[in-house]
Protein backbone atom coordinates (compact mmCIF):
# COMPACT_ATOMS: atom_id res chain seq x y z
CA UNK A 1 0.00 0.00 0.00
CA UNK A 2 0.98 3.63 -0.48
CA UNK A 3 0.23 5.50 2.76
CA UNK A 4 0.51 9.18 3.76
CA UNK A 5 0.45 10.17 7.44
CA UNK A 6 -0.65 13.76 8.16
CA UNK A 7 -0.44 15.52 11.54
CA UNK A 8 0.37 18.89 13.09
CA UNK A 9 2.45 18.73 16.27
CA UNK A 10 5.68 16.73 16.06
CA UNK A 11 5.62 16.29 19.85
CA UNK A 12 4.34 13.94 22.54
CA UNK A 13 2.47 10.68 22.27
CA UNK A 14 0.87 11.50 18.91
CA UNK A 15 4.30 11.97 17.32
CA UNK A 16 5.59 8.75 18.85
CA UNK A 17 2.50 6.90 17.62
CA UNK A 18 3.05 8.12 14.04
CA UNK A 19 6.76 7.28 14.09
CA UNK A 20 6.05 3.75 15.30
CA UNK A 21 3.36 3.28 12.64
CA UNK A 22 5.64 4.57 9.88
CA UNK A 23 8.56 2.34 10.88
CA UNK A 24 6.33 -0.71 11.25
CA UNK A 25 4.46 -0.17 7.99
CA UNK A 26 7.69 0.37 6.06
CA UNK A 27 9.19 -2.77 7.61
CA UNK A 28 6.10 -4.66 6.44
CA UNK A 29 6.88 -3.65 2.85
CA UNK A 30 4.58 -0.66 2.37
CA UNK A 31 5.52 2.75 0.93
CA UNK A 32 4.98 5.50 3.46
CA UNK A 33 5.19 9.30 3.55
CA UNK A 34 4.75 12.07 6.15
CA UNK A 35 3.30 15.58 6.00
CA UNK A 36 3.54 17.53 9.27
CA UNK A 37 3.97 20.93 10.88
CA UNK A 38 7.26 22.80 10.55
CA UNK A 39 6.68 25.02 13.62
CA UNK A 40 6.68 22.45 16.44
CA UNK A 41 9.03 19.85 17.85
CA UNK A 42 12.29 21.74 17.66
CA UNK A 43 15.63 19.98 17.26
CA UNK A 44 14.47 16.63 18.65
CA UNK A 45 11.60 16.34 16.14
CA UNK A 46 13.89 17.29 13.26
CA UNK A 47 16.40 14.64 14.33
CA UNK A 48 13.71 11.96 14.57
CA UNK A 49 12.24 12.85 11.18
CA UNK A 50 15.72 12.81 9.64
CA UNK A 51 16.14 9.24 10.91
CA UNK A 52 12.73 8.27 9.50
CA UNK A 53 13.61 9.67 6.07
CA UNK A 54 15.43 6.46 5.12
CA UNK A 55 12.21 4.41 5.45
CA UNK A 56 9.80 7.01 4.00
CA UNK A 57 9.72 6.03 0.33
CA UNK A 58 7.07 8.69 -0.35
CA UNK A 59 9.09 11.43 1.36
CA UNK A 60 8.69 13.78 4.34
CA UNK A 61 7.31 17.28 3.92
CA UNK A 62 6.93 19.96 6.61
CA UNK A 63 4.71 23.03 6.24
CA UNK A 64 3.47 25.65 8.75
CA UNK A 65 0.25 24.52 10.46
CA UNK A 66 -1.50 26.75 12.99
CA UNK A 67 -3.36 25.26 15.94
CA UNK A 68 -6.56 27.26 15.41
CA UNK A 69 -8.68 27.10 12.24
CA UNK A 70 -7.95 29.83 9.71
CA UNK A 71 -7.55 30.75 6.01
CA UNK A 72 -4.09 29.09 5.97
CA UNK A 73 -5.82 25.72 6.31
CA UNK A 74 -6.98 25.98 2.68
CA UNK A 75 -3.37 26.07 1.50
CA UNK A 76 -2.48 23.16 3.79
CA UNK A 77 -5.35 21.04 2.43
CA UNK A 78 -4.20 21.84 -1.10
CA UNK A 79 -0.64 20.83 -0.26
CA UNK A 80 -1.86 17.59 1.34
CA UNK A 81 -3.83 16.75 -1.79
CA UNK A 82 -0.90 17.65 -4.05
CA UNK A 83 1.55 15.44 -2.13
CA UNK A 84 -0.92 12.55 -2.10
CA UNK A 85 -1.66 12.92 -5.83
CA UNK A 86 2.02 13.11 -6.81
CA UNK A 87 2.89 10.08 -4.67
CA UNK A 88 -0.12 8.09 -5.95
CA UNK A 89 -1.24 7.53 -2.35
CA UNK A 90 -4.02 5.01 -1.71
CA UNK A 91 -4.89 6.08 1.81
CA UNK A 92 -4.29 9.23 3.90
CA UNK A 93 -4.05 8.68 7.66
CA UNK A 94 -4.80 11.87 9.63
CA UNK A 95 -3.75 12.19 13.28
CA UNK A 96 -5.22 14.77 15.68
CA UNK A 97 -7.73 17.49 14.79
CA UNK A 98 -5.64 19.24 12.14
CA UNK A 99 -4.32 16.04 10.59
CA UNK A 100 -7.87 14.71 10.46
CA UNK A 101 -9.12 17.87 8.77
CA UNK A 102 -6.45 17.85 6.05
CA UNK A 103 -6.53 14.08 5.48
CA UNK A 104 -10.29 13.78 5.11
CA UNK A 105 -10.82 16.78 2.86
CA UNK A 106 -7.80 16.01 0.64
CA UNK A 107 -8.76 12.34 0.33
CA UNK A 108 -12.37 13.24 -0.50
CA UNK A 109 -11.15 15.53 -3.27
CA UNK A 110 -8.92 12.79 -4.72
CA UNK A 111 -11.48 10.01 -4.35
CA UNK A 112 -9.24 7.88 -2.11
CA UNK A 113 -9.62 6.43 1.38
CA UNK A 114 -8.83 8.28 4.61
CA UNK A 115 -8.48 7.32 8.27
CA UNK A 116 -8.81 9.72 11.21
CA UNK A 117 -7.44 9.17 14.73
CA UNK A 118 -8.47 11.94 17.20
CA UNK A 119 -5.69 11.23 19.78
CA UNK A 120 -7.81 13.17 22.30
CA UNK A 121 -7.55 16.50 20.46
CA UNK A 122 -10.95 18.14 20.03
CA UNK A 123 -12.47 15.62 22.44
CA UNK A 124 -10.87 17.46 25.37
CA UNK A 125 -13.24 20.37 24.70
CA UNK A 126 -16.86 20.84 25.81
CA UNK A 127 -19.83 22.28 23.93
CA UNK A 128 -20.39 24.98 26.58
CA UNK A 129 -17.33 27.05 25.58
CA UNK A 130 -16.85 29.08 22.40
CA UNK A 131 -13.59 27.35 21.53
CA UNK A 132 -15.06 23.93 22.34
CA UNK A 133 -18.18 24.56 20.25
CA UNK A 134 -15.96 25.60 17.33
CA UNK A 135 -13.85 22.44 17.39
CA UNK A 136 -16.75 20.06 18.04
CA UNK A 137 -18.89 21.65 15.31
CA UNK A 138 -16.01 21.10 12.89
CA UNK A 139 -15.79 17.46 14.02
CA UNK A 140 -19.51 17.00 13.34
CA UNK A 141 -19.22 18.53 9.87
CA UNK A 142 -16.28 16.30 8.98
CA UNK A 143 -17.90 13.02 10.06
CA UNK A 144 -19.23 12.31 6.58
CA UNK A 145 -15.95 13.15 4.82
CA UNK A 146 -13.82 10.26 6.09
CA UNK A 147 -13.69 6.58 5.14
CA UNK A 148 -12.92 5.22 8.61
CA UNK A 149 -11.87 6.06 12.17
CA UNK A 150 -9.38 4.51 14.57
CA UNK A 151 -9.54 5.21 18.31
CA UNK A 152 -6.58 4.52 20.63
CA UNK A 153 -8.88 3.33 23.44
CA UNK A 154 -12.54 2.60 24.17
CA UNK A 155 -12.78 5.81 26.21
CA UNK A 156 -11.85 7.88 23.16
CA UNK A 157 -14.44 6.09 21.01
CA UNK A 158 -17.15 6.53 23.65
CA UNK A 159 -16.31 10.22 24.12
CA UNK A 160 -16.44 10.81 20.38
CA UNK A 161 -19.80 9.04 20.18
CA UNK A 162 -21.17 11.19 23.02
CA UNK A 163 -19.84 14.59 21.91
CA UNK A 164 -19.81 14.25 18.14
CA UNK A 165 -21.64 11.08 17.20
CA UNK A 166 -20.32 8.10 15.25
CA UNK A 167 -21.14 8.07 11.55
CA UNK A 168 -21.84 4.98 9.48
CA UNK A 169 -18.20 4.65 8.42
CA UNK A 170 -16.15 1.72 9.81
CA UNK A 171 -14.26 2.26 13.07
CA UNK A 172 -11.87 0.28 15.27
CA UNK A 173 -10.17 0.54 18.66
CA UNK A 174 -6.43 -0.10 18.32
CA UNK A 175 -4.28 0.49 21.40
CA UNK A 176 -0.91 2.23 21.25
CA UNK A 177 1.99 -0.21 21.14
CA UNK A 178 5.54 -0.54 22.43
CA UNK A 179 8.64 -2.04 20.80
CA UNK A 180 11.02 -4.68 22.22
CA UNK A 181 13.36 -1.93 23.45
CA UNK A 182 10.60 -0.66 25.76
CA UNK A 183 10.38 -3.96 27.64
CA UNK A 184 13.86 -3.68 29.17
CA UNK A 185 13.71 -3.56 32.98
CA UNK A 186 14.81 -0.16 34.28
CA UNK A 187 17.48 0.48 36.88
CA UNK A 188 17.19 3.21 39.50
CA UNK A 189 19.65 6.08 39.86
CA UNK A 190 21.40 6.30 43.26
CA UNK A 191 19.47 9.46 44.21
CA UNK A 192 16.05 8.21 43.03
CA UNK A 193 13.07 9.65 44.89
CA UNK A 194 10.09 7.68 46.20
CA UNK A 195 7.83 8.92 43.40
CA UNK A 196 8.16 10.59 40.04
CA UNK A 197 5.98 12.32 37.46
CA UNK A 198 6.63 12.71 33.72
CA UNK A 199 4.70 15.17 31.59
CA UNK A 200 3.88 18.77 30.86
CA UNK A 201 3.67 21.32 33.64
CA UNK A 202 -0.02 22.11 33.12
CA UNK A 203 -3.02 21.94 35.44
CA UNK A 204 -4.78 19.51 33.06
CA UNK A 205 -2.02 17.03 33.95
CA UNK A 206 -2.83 17.34 37.67
CA UNK A 207 0.59 18.38 38.99
CA UNK A 208 -1.11 20.54 41.63
CA UNK A 209 -3.23 17.54 42.71
CA UNK A 210 -0.06 15.51 43.24
CA UNK A 211 1.58 18.30 45.27
CA UNK A 212 -1.49 18.71 47.49
CA UNK A 213 -1.65 14.94 48.04
CA UNK A 214 2.05 14.84 48.94
CA UNK A 215 1.46 17.60 51.51
CA UNK A 216 -1.34 15.52 53.10
CA UNK A 217 0.98 12.62 53.87
CA UNK A 218 2.09 12.49 57.52
CA UNK A 219 5.43 14.17 58.05
CA UNK A 220 7.00 11.01 59.49
CA UNK A 221 6.52 9.38 56.06
CA UNK A 222 8.17 12.30 54.22
CA UNK A 223 7.90 10.88 50.67
CA UNK A 224 10.09 12.52 48.03
CA UNK A 225 9.09 13.38 44.46
CA UNK A 226 10.80 14.18 41.16
CA UNK A 227 8.82 16.14 38.57
CA UNK A 228 10.12 15.62 35.02
CA UNK A 229 9.00 18.01 32.30
CA UNK A 230 8.37 21.67 31.63
CA UNK A 231 5.50 23.86 30.61
CA UNK A 232 3.63 27.14 31.03
CA UNK A 233 2.64 26.61 34.69
CA UNK A 234 5.98 25.39 36.03
CA UNK A 235 6.64 28.55 38.08
CA UNK A 236 3.16 28.30 39.62
CA UNK A 237 3.80 24.72 40.70
CA UNK A 238 7.17 25.66 42.18
CA UNK A 239 5.46 28.39 44.19
CA UNK A 240 2.74 25.92 45.29
CA UNK A 241 5.35 23.39 46.45
CA UNK A 242 7.04 26.11 48.52
CA UNK A 243 3.72 27.31 49.99
CA UNK A 244 2.81 23.73 50.98
CA UNK A 245 6.09 23.41 52.85
CA UNK A 246 7.38 20.59 50.67
CA UNK A 247 10.84 22.18 50.48
CA UNK A 248 13.59 19.84 49.32
CA UNK A 249 11.20 16.88 49.13
CA UNK A 250 10.24 17.93 45.57
CA UNK A 251 12.77 18.10 42.74
CA UNK A 252 11.81 19.94 39.54
CA UNK A 253 14.15 18.15 37.15
CA UNK A 254 13.08 19.72 33.84
CA UNK A 255 12.67 17.89 30.54
CA UNK A 256 14.65 14.70 29.89
CA UNK A 257 14.34 11.53 27.78
CA UNK A 258 11.89 8.94 29.11
CA UNK A 259 14.70 6.41 29.47
CA UNK A 260 16.42 8.76 31.92
CA UNK A 261 13.21 9.91 33.61
CA UNK A 262 12.28 6.33 34.51
CA UNK A 263 15.41 6.06 36.66
CA UNK A 264 14.51 9.14 38.72
CA UNK A 265 11.86 7.60 41.02
CA UNK A 266 10.59 4.26 42.31
CA UNK A 267 6.88 4.69 41.55
CA UNK A 268 5.32 6.64 38.67
CA UNK A 269 2.34 8.86 39.53
CA UNK A 270 -0.04 10.01 36.78
CA UNK A 271 -2.44 12.50 38.45
CA UNK A 272 -4.12 13.81 35.27
CA UNK A 273 -7.47 15.54 35.18
CA UNK A 274 -7.91 14.58 31.52
CA UNK A 275 -6.25 11.98 29.33
CA UNK A 276 -6.90 9.79 26.34
CA UNK A 277 -4.53 6.81 26.48
CA UNK A 278 -1.11 8.09 27.63
CA UNK A 279 2.07 6.35 26.52
CA UNK A 280 3.79 7.07 29.83
CA UNK A 281 1.56 4.55 31.63
CA UNK A 282 2.27 1.61 29.33
CA UNK A 283 5.95 2.57 29.02
CA UNK A 284 6.31 2.36 32.80
CA UNK A 285 4.41 -0.94 32.93
CA UNK A 286 6.69 -2.44 30.27
CA UNK A 287 9.83 -1.33 32.14
CA UNK A 288 8.68 -2.98 35.38
CA UNK A 289 7.81 0.26 37.17
CA UNK A 290 4.92 0.39 39.69
CA UNK A 291 2.27 2.92 38.60
CA UNK A 292 -0.55 4.72 40.39
CA UNK A 293 -2.81 6.93 38.30
CA UNK A 294 -6.07 8.82 38.20
CA UNK A 295 -8.97 7.06 36.49
CA UNK A 296 -8.91 9.70 33.72
CA UNK A 297 -9.64 8.80 30.13
CA UNK A 298 -8.58 5.33 29.05
CA UNK A 299 -5.99 4.79 31.79
CA UNK A 300 -8.28 2.21 33.41
CA UNK A 301 -8.06 0.15 30.23
CA UNK A 302 -4.36 -0.38 30.92
CA UNK A 303 -4.12 -0.49 34.73
CA UNK A 304 -5.95 -2.71 37.24
CA UNK A 305 -8.51 -0.90 39.39
CA UNK A 306 -6.28 -1.32 42.46
CA UNK A 307 -3.74 1.07 40.87
CA UNK A 308 -6.30 3.86 40.26
CA UNK A 309 -7.71 6.77 42.28
CA UNK A 310 -10.55 9.18 41.53
CA UNK A 311 -9.75 12.19 39.34
CA UNK A 312 -8.85 15.15 41.56
CA UNK A 313 -9.16 13.13 44.81
CA UNK A 314 -6.15 14.27 46.84
CA UNK A 315 -7.22 12.18 49.88
CA UNK A 316 -7.29 8.96 47.84
CA UNK A 317 -3.98 9.79 46.15
CA UNK A 318 -2.33 10.53 49.52
CA UNK A 319 -3.47 7.11 50.75
CA UNK A 320 -2.01 5.49 47.62
CA UNK A 321 1.30 7.28 48.18
CA UNK A 322 1.50 5.96 51.74
CA UNK A 323 0.58 2.42 50.67
CA UNK A 324 3.22 2.43 47.91
CA UNK A 325 5.91 3.74 50.24
CA UNK A 326 5.07 1.09 52.83
CA UNK A 327 5.11 -1.59 50.14
CA UNK A 328 8.58 -0.46 49.07
CA UNK A 329 9.78 -0.60 52.69
CA UNK A 330 8.44 -4.14 52.94
CA UNK A 331 10.06 -5.10 49.59
CA UNK A 332 6.61 -5.81 48.14
CA UNK A 333 6.70 -5.21 44.38
CA UNK A 334 3.64 -5.67 42.16
CA UNK A 335 5.32 -4.39 38.99
CA UNK A 336 5.70 -7.89 37.50
CA UNK A 337 1.91 -8.09 37.11
CA UNK A 338 1.86 -4.76 35.25
CA UNK A 339 4.73 -5.83 32.98
CA UNK A 340 2.90 -9.05 32.10
CA UNK A 341 -0.21 -7.04 31.17
CA UNK A 342 1.88 -4.77 28.92
CA UNK A 343 3.53 -7.74 27.19
CA UNK A 344 0.15 -9.31 26.46
CA UNK A 345 -1.73 -6.23 25.24
CA UNK A 346 0.54 -3.42 24.03
CA UNK A 347 3.03 -4.08 21.22
CA UNK A 348 3.88 -2.12 18.08
CA UNK A 349 3.68 -5.36 16.06
CA UNK A 350 0.01 -5.78 17.02
CA UNK A 351 -0.74 -2.06 16.57
CA UNK A 352 0.76 -1.96 13.07
CA UNK A 353 -0.82 -5.25 11.96
CA UNK A 354 -4.28 -4.18 13.16
CA UNK A 355 -3.92 -0.78 11.46
CA UNK A 356 -2.87 -2.32 8.13
CA UNK A 357 -5.80 -4.74 8.39
CA UNK A 358 -8.14 -1.78 8.88
CA UNK A 359 -6.67 -0.01 5.84
CA UNK A 360 -7.41 -3.10 3.73
CA UNK A 361 -11.06 -2.92 4.74
CA UNK A 362 -11.25 0.61 3.32
CA UNK A 363 -9.23 0.35 0.11
Q: What's the distance, CA 119 to chain centroid?
A: 7
Domains of the chain: residue spans and CATH: 2-177+347-362 (3.40.50.2000), 181-345 (3.40.50.2000)
Q: How confident is the model at residue 330 (pLDDT cuts 50, 70, 90)?
A: low
Q: How confident is the model at residue 334 (pLDDT cuts 50, 70, 90)?
A: low
Provide the pLDDT for residue 246: 93
The stretch 252-280 carries a mean pLDDT of: 93
The radius of gyration computed from the CA coordinates of the chain, to the nearest angstrom, equals 21
Provide the pLDDT for residue 329: 62
More confident residue, 173 or 11: 173
Q: Is the dihedral of CA 264, 270, 273, 275 positive or negative?
A: positive
Q: What is the pLDDT of residues 106-160, one digit of tens each?
A: 999 999 999 999 988 788 888 999 888 988 998 898 888 999 999 999 999 999 9
Least confident of 60-64, 213-217, 256-260: 256-260
More confident residue, 317 or 143: 317
Report the C-alpha gap between 62 and 231 in whole angstroms: 24
The stretch 37-49 carries a mean pLDDT of: 92
Provide the pLDDT for residue 135: 87
What element of type H or E holds 195?
strand 193-198
Q: Length of the chain in residues, anyone?
A: 363
Provide the pLDDT for residue 333: 65
The answer to whether the CB of 65 falls within 8 A of the CB of 115 is: no
Q: How confident is the model at residue 13 (pLDDT cuts 50, 70, 90)?
A: confident
More confident residue, 107 or 9: 107
Provide the pLDDT for residue 79: 97
What element of type H or E holds 198?
strand 193-198
> Does residue 249 have a pLDDT over 80?
yes
> Does residue 309 have a pLDDT over 80?
yes
| Alpha carbon distances (Å) from 245 to 209, 212, 238 | 15, 10, 11
Model pTM score: 0.88
More confident residue, 11 or 283: 283
The answer to whether the CB of 17 falls within 8 A of the CB of 278 is: no
Provide the pLDDT for residue 276: 87
DSSP 8-state symbol, 6: E
Our CA angle for 352, 358, 361, nearest 5°, is 150
Provide the pLDDT for residue 336: 82
Report the C-alpha gap between 181 and 126 in whole angstroms: 38
> Does residue 191 have a pLDDT over 60?
yes
> Does residue 320 have a pLDDT over 90?
yes
The stretch 305-324 carries a mean pLDDT of: 96
Q: What is the pLDDT of residues 59-113, one digit of tens each?
A: 999 999 988 888 999 999 999 999 999 999 999 999 999 999 999 999 999 999 9
> Does residue 344 have a pLDDT over 90?
no
Amino acid sequence: MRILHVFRGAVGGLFRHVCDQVEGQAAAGHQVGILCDSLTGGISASAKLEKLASVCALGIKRIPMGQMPGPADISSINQTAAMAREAKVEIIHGHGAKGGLYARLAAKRLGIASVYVPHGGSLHFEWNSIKGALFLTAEKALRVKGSGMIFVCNFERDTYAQKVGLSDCPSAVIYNGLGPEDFVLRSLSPNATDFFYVGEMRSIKGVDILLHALARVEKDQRPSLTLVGDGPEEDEFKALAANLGLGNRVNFAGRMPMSQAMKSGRVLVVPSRRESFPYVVIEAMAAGIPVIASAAGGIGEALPESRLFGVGDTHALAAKLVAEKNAAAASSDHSAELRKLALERFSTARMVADTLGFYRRLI
